[in-house]
A = this chain, B = another copy of it.
Amino acid sequence: MLERFRVPPAEAVRVPYEALCQTVTEIFVACGVPSQEAAAGADVLATADLRGVESHGVSNSLRYYVSAFRAGDLNPRPCWTIDRETAGTATIDGDRGLGVLQGTAAMQLAIDKARRAGVGVVTMRNSGHLGAVGHFAMQAADQDMVGVCLTSTSPQVLPTFGAVPRFGTNPISFAAPAKREPVLFYDAATSTIATNKIGLARRVGAPLAPGWIADPAGTPVMAEGPVPEGEGVRMSGHQLLPLGSTREMGSHKGYGLALMVEVMTTMLAGSIPTMIDDVRPMAHHYFAAYDVAAFTDLDAFKETMDQMLQTLAATPPAPGHDRVIYPGLIEHETAIERRANGIPLHREVVAWFDSCTEELGLVRLERL
């Protein structure tokens, strides 16, 4: 997370991780979600905040989930069905459930399949927002597997040279187990930035960097500037660019990766990409687990992982930089600090919690 997205200390209210989990669980239950799924989903959101991934924590997403449950757009008690299944794969109809609440069980199915077939792949259609997809990749790493999780959503990212968005931010996440080092853990949109960063930048008053968005005609904006007019994550007419920003810098690569995610999540789940049919847009997900022990010696793998992560962190830095980090290291350090000192939420977010719990007749969110 870039510094520009941090909640300014004067605006921050610190809350304990456990209290955040508790309140979010109660909010989901009040929306009609069974308590086990509610707790799993609360962990997905609160863990994102714990790791410093504010863009995918409670601040941007929870209010929309609550609205969607109350409007009947999401099903709080989905009964998923498996369309097709083999030793290593399953295709699931998510019955309009919320991905955040369904992902843990879907990744566990992939993990269980990988125990037998070496690799397990589960796709899911007709589901809602999945939250921080890296959470589910980490679930596999916690069980000595390499995990990969992908999701796709409604169009807001331009293809290279295009003026109309065709893709969601279609993130790629993966995680792999180590022995003593903090887990290797990657989770990033295939666009230059995740959609929720727009909402965050607007809230904290941060500018957008060169190459992040295109103007309404589709031309990349290559100068720093304020978030365009709009509300929340929406920007009137402007769109996100694929990773690489311009063709010369490699935007065709970000575009191609977004397309790969679209195929793996939507089409392998037997669904229609939202660029073709967005009448009833749902998200589509992909969960994969690779059983390390099926490929090689597990202990040797973890030892080598430790060595590789140490080698990366020991890389001599370029001028102007203190150190080289690897994906997951900052998140690990942030989680330690926030477990001790609480999670800093923007006071506007805490105010939303208070109005939400009051309306639902729940106990107010605890603060430190």
Contacts and interface: CB of A to CB of B under 8 A. Distances in A.
Max chain B C-beta neighbours (<10 A), residue from A166, A218, A253, A256: A253
Contacts of A86: 116-118, 291, 294
A264 interface: yes
B268 A292 contact: yes
Interface stretch (A11-19, A34-42, A59-67, A157-165): A157-165
A267 interface: yes
Contact of A87 (B83, B118, B275): B118
B89 A116 contact: no
Count this chain's copies in the assembly: 2
Given A118-B86, A166-B315, A91 B268 contact: no
A353 interface: no
Interface string A209-233: 1110010011100000000000000
Identify which of A190, A308, A311 gathers the most chain B CB atoms within 10 Å of its CB: A308
A236 interface: no
A327 interface: yes
A28 interface: no
B188 A256 contact: yes
B174 A263 contact: yes
A252 B327 contact: yes
A318 B118 contact: no
Interface of A: 2, 83-84, 86-89, 91, 116-121, 123, 146, 158-164, 166, 172, 174, 176, 184, 186, 188-190, 192-193, 209-211, 214, 217-219, 243-245, 247-250, 252-257, 259-260, 262-264, 267-270, 272-273, 275-276, 290-292, 294-297, 300-301, 304-305, 307-308, 311-312, 315-321, 323-327
A265 B304 CA distance: 14
Given A275-B312, A295-B123, A318-B217, A304 B88 contact: no
Contacts of A84: 294-296
A304 B117 contact: no
B89 A311 contact: no
A210 B250 CA distance: 11
A334 to B, nearest CB: 15
Contact of A146 (B164, B263, B270): B263
A307 to B, nearest CB: 5
25 contacts: A2-B247, A86-B117, A88-B88, A89-B117, A89-B294, A119-B120, A158-B318, A160-B324, A161-B318, A162-B317, A162-B318, A166-B312, A166-B315, A172-B260, A188-B250, A188-B256, A210-B249, A217-B318, A219-B319, A219-B320, A259-B327, A263-B305, A267-B304, A270-B297, A272-B304
B119 A121 contact: yes
Contact of A253 (B243, B262, B305): B243
- In the complex, the 8 A-B pairs of residues with the closest C-beta atoms, listed nearest first: A218-B318, A89-B118, A270-B296, A86-B118, A88-B117, A186-B256, A161-B321, A162-B315
A87 B89 contact: no
Contacts of A323: 161
Contacts of A267: 176, 296, 301, 304-305, 308
Given A186-B260, A259-B186, A316 B162 contact: yes
A275 to B, nearest CB: 5
Given A161-B325, A295-B89, A324-B159, A268 B290 contact: yes
A317 B218 contact: yes
Nearest to A187: B256
B260 A174 contact: yes
